[in-house]
Structure formats: C-alpha cells, structure tokens
A = this chain, B = another copy of it.
Amino acid sequence: MSGTKAPEKKLLKALAGERTDGIPVWFMRQAGRYLPEYRKVRAEAGSFLDLCYSPALAEEVTLQPIRRFGFDAAILFSDILVVPDALGQKVAFKEGEGPVLEAITNEAGLAALGPVSGIRQKLAPVYETVSRLSASLPREVTLIGFAGAPWTVATYMVGGRGSADQGAAKAWAYRDPAGFQKLIDLLVEATIEHLSAQVEAGAEALQIFDTWAGSLPPLSFERFALKPAQAIRREMKARFPHVPMLGFPRGAGGSAARYFCETGMDGLSLDTGVSPLWARDELQVHGCVQGNLDPLLLVAGGDEMRAQATHILETLGAGPFIFNLGHGIVPQTPPDHVGELVSLVKDWRA
C-alpha cells in the first residue's frame, strides 16, 4: 500500500480525475483591473512589473478575488514575460500599449540572453510571493503557479510586442526552423526552472498558457507547441510527481485531443470556441477539462450568461471538471456579474 493520500482540495481532486461534491471554480485573470481594490494597489505599485516583483503587493492582489468571491483556486499574480525578463531581455509594460521588448529575431540575438540558472535569483521576489500565499491562503484553496508556453513567450520575444498574426516569430520559425528551435529549447529549460521554483515555494498545481498555439500550422504546432509541452510535463512529473498540470493550447481546435493525450497533462483548459458536447466526447474521456465561458458573456451578464454557463455545467459537470472562462477576465467586467456566476456554479449539482 502506498502512503500517498488522496487530495482533499476540490480543485486537486478534479485534476486527479475524481468527481467532486460541487464543481471547483476559478477564473483566468481573476486578479486584475476589473476590481477597484486591484486598481488601488496597482496605482501605488509603480510599474506593472514592479507589482509583479513586490511580494507583499502581489500577494495582496492574488488574495483579493479569493476574499471577494471564494474561488477554489488562487493563481499567482505574475506575468508570462517575467521569464524573458529574467533571461536578460529588456521588458517594459507601457500604459495602454501592453508589453514592449527589445526584439530578438535571430540566433545571434540568443547569445545575449543570460543562463537559465540565473532565473531563480532574478525571480526570487516571485517565489517569495508564492511562499507567502502558501501560508496565507485559506486551507481549502489551491495555489496555482503558471508560465507561458515556449511558443507564446517566443512570439513576444521575437515580435517585441503582441501582434495579431505572430508574424515576426513565424518569419524566423519558417526561415530558419533549426535556429528558432534553439529559442524554443531555451524556453523549455527556462520554463521548467521557473515552474520548479514555484512548486518548491508552495505551488500545488501548475498551468501553462499557450495563448497563440492556434495560429500554428500542424507541423509547426507539433514542433513548437506539443513537443515543448510534452518535454515540460515529463520533467516536472519526474521532479514533482504529485503536482498536477493544466495545459491551455488556445485555439488548438481538433488538435486538442492529441495535445492532451501526448503531453500527459492532467487537465486541459478549453477556449471559448470549444463545444462542451465535443469536449465531453473527445477530451474529457482523457482527463479533467476546464472552461470555458466567453469572458464577454461575463461582461454582458443576465439571462444569456446564465443560460450558457448552465449549458457548460450540464454538459461537462459529471466531471472531472473545473469551471473557468475561455480566456481571461476583461477590465470592463462588472464585479457583480462575477459574484453571480460564482454562486451559480457553486450552487449547481449534477
């Protein structure tokens, strides 16, 4: 008999493939600008990255939505671009413009990046935030650590900013697949280091966000999205066998099932466009799924929000399932709608 205990927290139970009494719920970007208490801290913090690197403030904004709504999980307040920042690429967040980086567009640019081993020192404040949260969170709440997936982080590193078509990263990847692979490999290693440090500081579950996976054609998806996620999952599983991981290959469409099976993720986060019926038949059979209400339904609220949330619950609620959005909460979301939706999920029973 093994000494392993079954998880007691609701979200960890779902990720272990178990049915739960009530559906666990949290929302991507649940700590953020839609909350007045967040805007207050943000205004005092200086820059956005200053907030990410201030353990007391980052802890506070991570806790705010837990206090207000009673979510089953808290996700570390941080950003996917702390990894390139820690590797020595200059990253800034400009008001109303989003992130701006000094673009790296070829193999020569890679040489300027610092070693992966420097991440722990540079991101020590982030891990201190995790450690504080591990102590301060209510005992029934799961602490989720995260990182951007290599492809998505690379689109910012190569493009220097967000873009509609990820054109700069694709230009490099298509012109020089072997050179671009070195950037991806570096990011696989860096992601493992960053996630490992979060687990050591107290993260109980992990999610990797591949926001731009859906723009990759299939052979590139395989090379730059699926294989890196597989490598990260394999190594994290070897290091921390009991820490479950969610993948979020946004827009992967029909390739989501292969991604789920071949990466060995414990859970798959579904984007807004995924049909719950299809997900039940093609994805939930392989493990826990998470999702996927349109964040704009949360803005609209009302009958339509309730009807579409109920459709998701009725289709996927037999579990294993975690209720979430299909993408992050947007700033214009009325907090009251969040409260109403969380209640709807918590009150729902199969």
Q: Which residues of A come within 8 Å of B, CB atoms?
A: 164-165, 167, 170-171, 173-175, 177, 214-221, 251-256, 258, 272-279, 282, 292-294, 296-297, 299-300, 302, 304-305, 307-308, 311, 326
Contact = CB atoms under 8 A, between A and B. Distances in A.
Stoichiometry (number of copies):
2
A174 B304 contact: yes
- The 9 A-B pairs with the shortest beta carbon distances in the complex, nearest first, are A253-B253, A174-B300, A254-B278, A218-B275, A217-B294, A174-B304, A170-B296, A214-B273, A255-B275
Contact of A274 (B220, B253, B258): B253
Contacts of A221: 273, 275
A4 to B, nearest CB: 34
A274 B254 CA distance: 7
A156 to B, nearest CB: 16
A216 B276 CA distance: 13
Q: For the complex, would chain A's binding face be called helix, strand, loop or mixed by DSSP majority?
A: helix
Contacts of A258: 275, 278
A174 B302 contact: yes
A228 to B, nearest CB: 17
Given A253-B251, A253-B274, A177 B304 contact: yes
A305 to B, nearest CB: 7
Nearest to A282: B254
Nearest to A177: B304
Given A171-B296, A297-B174, A278 B255 contact: yes
Contacts of A251: 214, 251, 253, 273
